[in-house]
Structure formats: C-alpha cells, structure tokens
Structure 1
Amino acid sequence: MDAIEQHLLPVNGIHLNVHVAGPADGQPVWLLHGFPECWHSWRAQIPALAAAGYRVFVPEMRGYGASDAPPAVEDYDLPTLCGDIRAAMDAFGQQRVAVVGHDWGALVAWHLALLDEARVTTLATLSVPYAGRPKRPATEILAAAFAERFNYILYFQQPGVAEAELDADIERSLRLFFRDPGDEDPFLQDKPAGARLFDAQPTPEQLPAWCSHEDLDFYIRAFAGRGFRGALNWYRNFERNWQLNESLAGRQVLQPTLFLVGEHDPVARLEAYTLKRMTEVVPRLEMHWLDCGHWIQNERPQAVNERLLDFLDRHYPA
C-alpha cells in the first residue's frame, strides 16, 4: 500500500483520526467503515482509488480506534456522526466530495447525502439500504416482532450488557463476527430473548480467506483498551435518530447512487422490504448483487473496486 498520511483532527467536540492517501490534487473520496471495523476495512479500496487519481479520506469513526469515544450514548446519534465527517471535510477545505459507506458507515453516508446535498455529489453504499424515514423507530418495530425471541439490535440496547460479553475476549468476539457466509450467523439465530449474542458458539479456529492474522490484529488494536462501548452506542440511538430526523421524512436521495450488497448477507434478509422500496426514495440508483456475505469490500475486493471505479468515472471523474 502506498504511503498513508494520518491526521488527528479536532472536530465537532472530539478528535477524529483520518487516514489520507492519493494525489494531493485528486477529487476527494471518503470511505466510512461500519461495525465492528476500523479504517483498515478499506485496505483493498484505498490503493485502487489512489492509483485512479482520487484523494482518499478514511476516518476511524467516533468510538473507534484512535478517534475519541465519548461515554454518553447521545453522543452517537446520526446528526452528530454526520457532523464529525462534515467538520472534517471543512477542515480539509472540501466543497465537492464523493462518499462511500459500508454497514453503519452506509447509514452515515445516506444521511450525509440528505443533510449536505450541495457537497455530497456522488454516493456509494454497501450492505445497508435506505428507503426513507420509517413511520416508527426501528427498535419499537423490533420490540413488537421479537417479544420472546432474541434480536441483536435489542440485545445491544442496554448499556453494559453487550459490552460485558464482547469485551471479555476481544479477539474471540471479532473471530465470531468475521465469519464466512456459510457459517451459522449469530445475528440470525433463533433463540430466547434472554440469550447472549454468542451463546453456545465455538470460537472459529480458522480465519476466513479475506482476513489474515495481520488484518485481524488491526481490528484487535482498534478495540484494545477501550472495548466495544463506543461502537455499541451507535445502536442505542435508533429512537433518538428517528426523532431528530423528522425533517427528512419524504425526502429523496437525489445524487447518483451505487448500492452493492452480498447475496448471502444477513442484512439483505433483514432488510428485504427496504431493498424493494429503495428506488422510490433513491431515483438514480444502480444496484449490484455480489456472491458474498456482509464483509463485501473484503470478501470481493476486485468486484467492488471495478464497480466503484466505473461508477465514479461516470459520475465523479478523477
């Protein structure tokens, strides 16, 4: 990988760790990671985008890695998370950008496109779809649907509960998260509501082909010493996000938008209704299904790079 600059920016009340690569005069492309990852999840995209002439900006999101992790749950709502990235764009003097997001980073990307339409001219999201503001908060919908069964989002709601499980052995937790699509997925297990995420799950001895021991070490370091609390706090703002985003009800994402999703991604099963409705809210949508699971940019890096570079070349040339 080519040389990467590291900037620890004072923005929006925190310090945000941003990695930067590519020619200084290249068009800016932001890569936003999800849960439970770090900037290293874009390791295959950074050199490809930089070689194509783009200036690539890869933050460790609030609560992750070397970025600050405030303790309060309300410090992780979507307007605040978007505010981190918008303030960082201001710090770099950027008036026109492309934003790419995966998982929770996709949700931030969707909302950046709505909140900063003049600056975010091109959008690409991976794994997590968007079909507008729901009629009720997601946690309220899930609580009704999973009254007596386990649901990981509901499990993550109470501060301290999921942390106690995940922080007990960070490497084991990450090995269980980063599994191949054919393995039993803890997010989709049918078990009682009082269960824990990884109950009765053996620790995988082998890492998936897309995650080397060196790669795993990057993720371990991102959580070492601080645990998963900041990352889990993102999940504890569903109701707050719904309330704060009332002004977005009925709004469309009007930017050219690329959406990539894995055929074996559990999120695709959980968000099947949203996927069907996307074109109603995202009229300039291009969607591609890839033969992989949730960790799409790592499982299928070449396919993701080809589609992303082609899309950017047509809508946001370097």
Structure 2
Amino acid sequence: MQTRLIKTDGLTQQVLEAGEGPLVLLIHGFPELGVSWRAQVEALAAAGYRAVAPDMRGYGGTDKPDGVEAYSILHLVGDMVDLVRALGEDGCVVVGHDWGAPVAWHCALLRPDVFTAVAGLSVPFQPRRPKGPPTAAMAAISKRAGLGELYINRFQAPDAHQALDADPAMTLRKLFFAYDGATPADRRSTGFMPEGVSLLESIDDAATSPPWMTPAHFAEYVAAFTAGGFDGPLNWYRALDGNWALTAFLQGQKIGQPALFVVGENDPVRHYAGQHEEGLKDWVPNLTRSVVVPGAGHWIQQERAAEVNALLLEFLARL
C-alpha cells in the first residue's frame, strides 16, 4: 500500500493505492480522506484488484481550488474520469461513501463507458427533482415537520467553515461520534438543529472517538484538516443548488450499470436521505443488492470493515 501524488487535468491528487488487476476507485465523503478506505484497499488488493482511494478535491493532500464554482458535481466527476486516465486505465468500478456516493452515482450516470459498475455506501442515488433547487426544498420540509434546520442548509453560509476550523480536533471528534453506530441513539445527531444552535453545539461536549478510531488514525484526520481547513469540503454542499441548475440534462435519466447499495441500520443520514432507499430500484434497475447492516452507523466501511469488504468482493466477483 502506497501514497503518491498524481497530476490530472488541472489538479494534483493524492491517492492511496495497492494491488494489481481490475481497477476499483474508492471515493470518500465528509469529513473523511482516502485513508478511510484503508481496510478496503488492503482487502481488494489481496483479492486481485487494483484499489485506489484518492483524497478528493478540497481534501487532504489533493489541491484545494478557491470558490464554490470549482466544486460542482461536473468537476468532481471530471476529476475521477481523469484519474482513471492518469492511472493508465480505460474503465473501473466506482465505489462511494457519504458525499462520495453521489459522486459515484453521477460517475455512473454521466460516463457509463468509463464506470462499468457502481456501489454506493450510506447515501442512495437521489434523482434530480424537477420542482426546484434542493436547499429550498430541504428548508421547507424541515419547517413543515418542525424538526429544526438541517445542517446542510447551515453549511450554505459563506463563513460556515470558520466554526469548524476553530478547533479541528473537536470538530472531527464530535462529527465521528455523532454519526457512529456505537453511539447511544439519544446522543447521535439527527442532522437537524434548533434555531440558534450550531451543529457542533448540538453534539455532546463529552463526545469520544468511536471504538474503531485509533489515536493514530484520528491524528491523520486532525493533521489534514488543520492544514487544509473545512472551506473546500463545505463548498461541496454550497454547490448543491448550482448542481441542480447544471444537471437539467439528466432529468429522468436512470443508472443502467450493475449496482450495490449498503447502509447502516442506525445511520443518521437515513433521517433525511432514507426516503430514496425505497425507490432506488426504480432509478437503478440493475441494483443487485440493497443491504442494511444491523447496528451499523454512518462510517460503515470503517465501522464494519469486514462486512463491507465481503459485500464488495461478492459484488465484484459477480461482474
């Protein structure tokens, strides 16, 4: 397993990679890094695959362009298309977790010639809704239900990253704690916050690192986000409405490749993205399996590495 820098089209990407064989691209989410896939890189390489996990645009050792406009879904998919080329490959299977799942789904949607199969962890494919931009819809739903404001809407503020940057170690500890399956249900975040209460304030100050998070692994995250900050990662959220405007041409389009979906039973993201699980087969007709892992939370590839590895290897073997 090695880490190296790869120059792609206008971007330098840091990747974690191992193995030889068919390429499997592993896309992380927020607030993670390519090293969140370490267990999968090891298992896939041992099984005869070439596994590559990049730090995504705005994260870790990869470049962090300025401005929300540099973080559209078209940029994120383009980064992966060109990474495949820079790796000397023509195509691959793409796997994404959290924010990486929408990127993986859109890789499959936009470039089926490059991404021959797709697996999404924690976040199902969410088709473009024709009635308007997503942040307004999320705000309206939250208000009607009396749930408070969804953190995704809070992240739209140009200065939202500053509170997270103030103490990266505390931010990361709280976020990993609040979305972990081992955290008691009454202390996990729902993603919704009362008016005047910030995301970090809504999470217990006594938050501890999850059982799977070693001090050394946590230190990797703290070092990366201390150096790079949270502005780039939050630009992924700030680009949501712009993505809606850019993807009108995808309205009604389905994903035709073989697909896998895996989610933790206790994943708090299901509070606001779970509605799309039920209709996933309608939009991804070649969905081979949709698996709910009992007791697992959001950080599923790290919480339940052995189970996720087995599911991915079974999926890949069928291909």
| TM superposition score normalised by structure 2 | 0.92
- Percent identity among equivalent residues? 42
Q: 2: CA distance between counterparts of 1:215 and 1:299?
A: 13
Provide the residue aligned with 2:171 in structure 1.
173
Query: Given that residues 156 and 235 in structure 1 are in contact (C-alpha distance below 8 angstroms), is that contact kept between their aligned partners in structure 2?
Result: yes
User: Deviation at 1:190?
Assistant: 4.5
1:214-261 per-position Cα deviation (integer Å, ceiling 9, x unaligned): 110111122122210000000001111011111111111111101000
Give 2:8's match in structure 1, choosing from 7, 11, 16: 11
Q: Which amino acid aligns with 2:27?
A: L
SS at match of 1:31: strand
Separation in 1, partners of 2:62, 2:190: 27
Mapped pair 1:297 → 2:301: yes
Cα deviations by residue, 1:186-216 (Å, 9 ceiling, x for unpaired): 3434411x32111154434632111111110
CA distance in structure 1 between the aligned counterparts of 2:164 and 2:9, rounded to whole angstroms = 28
| Matched ranges for 1:1-318 at <5 A | 3-4=1-2, 6-23=3-20, 26-135=21-130, 136-147=132-143, 149-160=148-159, 162-179=160-177, 180-181=180-181, 182-183=183-184, 184-192=187-195, 194-199=196-201, 201-204=203-206, 206-285=208-287, 286-291=289-294, 292-315=296-319
Determine helix, strand or coil for the equivalent of 1:140: helix
- How much has 1:15 moved relative to structure 2? 1.2
Q: CA RMSD in A?
A: 1.5
Q: Which moved more, 1:225-234 or 1:182-191?
A: 182-191
Write the distance in 2 (CA, Å) between the matches of 1:206 and 1:143: 30
Aligned-partner Cα distance in 2 for 1:118–1:155: 37
Q: Secondary structure at the match of 1:264?
A: coil
Whole-angstrom CA distance in 2 between matches of 1:201 and 1:109: 29
For 1:99-150, what per-residue CA distance to the aligned partner results, in whole angstroms no more than 9, with x for missing partners?
1100011111000001110111111110000142112221010122234822
Q: Secondary structure at the match of 1:44?
A: helix
CA distance in structure 1 between the aligned counterparts of 2:207 and 2:275, rounded to whole angstroms: 35
Partner SS state of residue 269, structure 2: helix
**What is the distance in 2 between the residues matched to 1:113 and 1:89?**
13
Q: Is the 8 A contact 2:43 2:309 kept in 1?
A: yes
Inter-CA distance 198–205: structure 2 relative to 1 (3 Å threshold)? closer
Read off the aligned partner of 1:156 and give its amino acid letter: F
Q: Distance in 2 between matches of 1:164 and 1:131?
A: 29
- Whole-angstrom distance in 2 between the partners of 1:201 and 1:217: 21
Equivalent pairs, count:
308
Q: Is the 8 A contact 1:170 1:224 kept in 2?
A: yes
In 1, Cα distance between equivalents of 2:48 and 2:40: 13
Q: Which runs of 4+ in 1 moved over 4 A?
A: none
User: C-alpha displacement at 1:7, in angstroms?
Assistant: 3.1
| CA distances 1:32-78 after superposition (whole Å, capped 9, x unpaired) | 00000001111111110000010111100000001011121110010
Quick check: 2:120–2:262 contact (8 Å CA) kept in 1?
yes
Unaligned runs of at least 5 residues, structure 1: none
TM-aligned CA distance change 1:153 to 1:209, over 3 Å: same
| AA at the equivalent of 2:25 | W
Aligned residue type for 1:153: I
SS in 1 for 2:167: helix
Note closer, same or farther for the CA distance 1:89–1:222 as it changes in structure 2 (3 Å cut): same
Residue pair 1:175, 1:204 contacting (<8 A) in 2 also: no
Equivalent AA in structure 2 for residue 76 of structure 1: Y
The whole-number CA distance in structure 1 between the counterparts of 2:29 and 2:305 is 16
